[in-house]
Amino acid sequence: MINQMREIENKIENGSRLNEADALYLFESPDLMRIGALADRVNRRKNQDRIFYNINRHINPTNICALSCKFCAFSRKPGEEGAYAYEIDEMVEKARTAVAQGATELHMVGGLHPRWPFKRYLDMIATMHAEFPGVHLKAFTAVELDWMARRERRSLAEILQDLKNAGLGSLPGGGAEIFHPEIRDEICDTKVSADQWIDTHRLAHSMGLRSNCTMLYGHIERFEHRVDHMRRLRELQDETGGFNVFIPLSFQPNQNDMGIGRYTFGFDDLKTIAVARLYLDNFANIKAYWVMLGQDIAQLGLSFGANDFDGTVTEEKISLMAGGRSGMAMSRADLENLILRAGRTPVERDTLYKPINLEKSLAQVAQGNQSHQASRSHQANRNLPVSRARKMTFAITPHTVVVKLDEMKNLSWANLLTTCQSNSSTPSSNGPCEVILAGMSVVANLMEQAAVDLHAGMTALRAAGVRRLAESPSDARWNTHDKVHRAAHQADLPTTGRLTLRATANGCDWNDFRKQLDRVSDGLRPLGMTAISLGTSPDVGDSGDSGDAHDALSMVVTATEYLHAVSQLRFAAGERATIITSLMDDVPTLAPAMGLGSDGSQHPAQKLVPLLADFGSDDLGLVDPALIKVQRLIEDIRSAGLAADVKFAPESSQTDAGLDLRHKPRDRA
């Protein structure tokens, strides 16, 4: 009997429609890579390798709102601290700066101000249109339009007609949330119903106004609610063809009444984009909205079915106030950089998805950006005979200690042995500590200075409690590792090799990386390396300190590139080595380059965790529970149907049962 995934693939190949059971199956499937590959194929069929972005400016006229949606951190009651309402002049000034910088769109949505008459909204549109006649005004959700109509006691058609006459160009997609009453009644019971939202967009389409649509996911809804939501949007699109784009909005957890203390899972974000691409077959455009997804996942979304990255945005308050961690603005250069480094062609668009200067964009890519071509991450991965890891391992401090020799000064062979000894003999609550020594060239030099031969030195390290010897970042340019690996191997000390993916201003240096990979395929077995870690350069940890976020962005490895490198490494290593992608030290996130950090609830790189397994990693290195919430990390791993394997001490590993996390982390080495 043919299985359902195969049946879905056949349907896609034949151009047949997926039904709701298919969409539900895809949401429930753990096979993200296969679904993503399918979505990518459909996307490329429709849009080639082009990714849209636009130069736009969000202006939220007021956060004063008569409603109290449970998920909303943005709204305030009149007089409440933080409440604001812009004068139209203020909005014009914000818009003027944006238009001078090339904005072609103004996106205006806000709260339902209890005292603003319809005339205020009409004046807002008329004034903006008069000031900036060439700029597209995308404004007012179905919720705001309903509010205006009710306050004015006029029909929606009249309200829309007046706004259109004043210069309104199209409607944004907000207010859709989740249509199903089981969820809608719980999260925004006083908002327009699903039928009203749909009817408003149908009406707008019939009046020649195009619109966008959204879905707020990742809170209390279930997959069947998402499918029901998308079914209703697909039906209206069949009827009118008036939607420009579908935008999945990932739930931001802070400062609202939902009581959900977590961001969405990266695995789920990408699956949602992919299912939308496959099920919403009558939509040309699916957006990876960087403001809510974060730049790392949004960039990856471009390989999972999305063809739109949204725009420069500049001032976004709705997500920001709910814990959004992506900043409020990206420059044209940032957007193009991330798109190019996903191996795609950036194309500026207008609000209605018409390309602006298409020929120029294509020519630029053809001319100058060959080095970006290698970053077609899961495109490449798809062809690799790699079996997905079924579990993800990580070690936690203080049960494991990494002695980082790169960070230690004035070291002698004798005090290295003492340091190892004292670290390994300090028992943690779960038994003795495992000591990993990182820094092969330092170890070799210390032995040479002390006139200790390699074999005797390795035996002494083993006796001092060292359980693994690892290459460190400073070993990257060193070329005599082999004999150290061999000596360790002979002394029964397993070793970890290290590869470094280097970022340059034109993308990653893939030639250099390929050379390093040769060393893996040639040398793994004879050298006795049982693990390989993958680092990046410039060091991701340092990238935020450069002072100039945009320069920093062009010099860091992006998530798509890193995952591509992981898959290449897995291909070279086969099943013969553990691949370590250290969450705390090596997995890159653009957050620091954008000047952003963690808010404490989730390390920014954590969104990539289950994806790392899909691309071939099976180890997250050493995790410090003071910096990363271990329980949340276990949830992240399990979100993709993987087992979490927490390593406590030599030869012992177990899942989170009985995990003792009450200790204070101690200094490493």
Among 160, 216, 389, 503, binds ligand V47 (CB under 6 A): 216
What tokens were used for 493?
A: 């000390």
For residue 600, the minimal CB distance to ligand V47 (Å) is: 18
CB of 41 or CB of 210, closer to ligand V47: 210
436 forms part of the interface with ligand SF4 (CB under 6 A): no
Q: Determine the interface stretch with ligand V47 among 300-308, 316-324, 471-479, 521-529 (rule: CB under 6 A).
A: 316-324
For residue 60, the minimal CB distance to ligand SF4 (Å) is: 9
Between CA 354 and CA 66 the distance in angstroms is 36
Count of residues of this chain found to bind ligand V47 when the rule CB under 6 A is applied = 22
CB of 176 or CB of 227, closer to ligand SF4: 176
247 forms part of the interface with ligand V47 (CB under 6 A): yes
Q: Determine the interface stretch with ligand SF4 among 67-75, 275-283, 373-381, 574-582 (rule: CB under 6 A).
A: 67-75
For residue 147, the minimal CB distance to ligand V47 (Å) is: 13
214 forms part of the interface with ligand V47 (CB under 6 A): yes
What tokens were used for 668?
A: 């490493």
- DSSP code string of 377-394: HHHHHTTS--PPPSEEEE
Among 36, 169, 175, 625, binds ligand V47 (CB under 6 A): 175
First to last CA, the chain: 58
Q: Which residues contact 439 (CB under 8 A, 6 or more apart)?
A: 404, 405, 406, 470, 471, 472, 474, 475
What tokens were used for 457?
A: 């030195």
Q: Determine the interface stretch with ligand V47 among 65-73, 76-84, 126-134, 153-161 (rule: CB under 6 A).
A: 65-73
CB of 174 or CB of 301, closer to ligand SF4: 174
Q: Tell me which residue has its CB nearest to ligand V47.
A: 174
Helix axes 510-527, 559-573, angle to 10 degrees: 30
- DSSP code string of 518-543: HHHHHHHHHHTEEEEEEEEES-GGGG
CB 221 within 8 A of CB 248: no
DSSP annotation of 16 reads P
72 forms part of the interface with ligand V47 (CB under 6 A): yes
75 forms part of the interface with ligand SF4 (CB under 6 A): yes
- Residue 444 interacts with which of ligand SF4, ligand V47, none, CB < 5 to 8 Å by class: none
For residue 179, the minimal CB distance to ligand V47 (Å) is: 12
- Residue 194 interacts with which of ligand V47, ligand SF4, none, CB < 5 to 8 Å by class: none
Q: Site mask, ligand SF4, residues 472-511, x = CB under 6 A?
A: ----------------------------------------
For residue 255, the minimal CB distance to ligand V47 (Å) is: 8
Whats the size of the chain, residue-wise? Answer: 669
DSSP annotation of 585 reads T
For residue 339, the minimal CB distance to ligand V47 (Å) is: 18
Between CA 163 and CA 87 the distance in angstroms is 18
Among 25, 27, 53, 74, binds ligand SF4 (CB under 6 A): 74
For residue 318, the minimal CB distance to ligand V47 (Å) is: 5
* Pairing state between β 643-649 and 391-396: parallel
Between CA 304 and CA 34 the distance in angstroms is 10
Q: Determine the interface stretch with ligand SF4 among 66-74, 342-350, 382-390, 546-554 (rule: CB under 6 A).
A: 66-74
Strand partners, 580: 533, 619
Q: Determine the interface stretch with ligand SF4 among 62-70, 90-98, 207-215, 306-314 (rule: CB under 6 A).
A: 62-70
CB hemisphere CA count around 669 (13 angstroms): 21
For residue 489, the minimal CB distance to ligand V47 (Å) is: 52
- DSSP code string of 350-371: -TTS-BSSHHHHHHHHHHH-GG
CB of 111 or CB of 311, closer to ligand SF4: 111
Q: In degrees rounded to 5, what are phi and psi of residue 441?
A: -65, -35
98 forms part of the interface with ligand V47 (CB under 6 A): no
Amino acid at 286: I
Between CA 356 and CA 50 the distance in angstroms is 13
- DSSP code string of 283-329: -SEEB--HHHH-HHHHHHHTTTT--EEEE------HHHHTT--S-S-
Between CA 291 and CA 293 the distance in angstroms is 6
- Residue 108 interacts with which of ligand SF4, ligand V47, none, CB < 5 to 8 Å by class: none
The residues that touch ligand SF4, with contacts defined as CB under 6 A, are: 65, 67-69, 72, 74-75, 111-112, 143, 188, 191
The residues that touch ligand V47, with contacts defined as CB under 6 A, are: 71-73, 109, 172-175, 177, 212, 214, 216, 247, 249, 251-252, 256, 289, 292, 318-319, 322
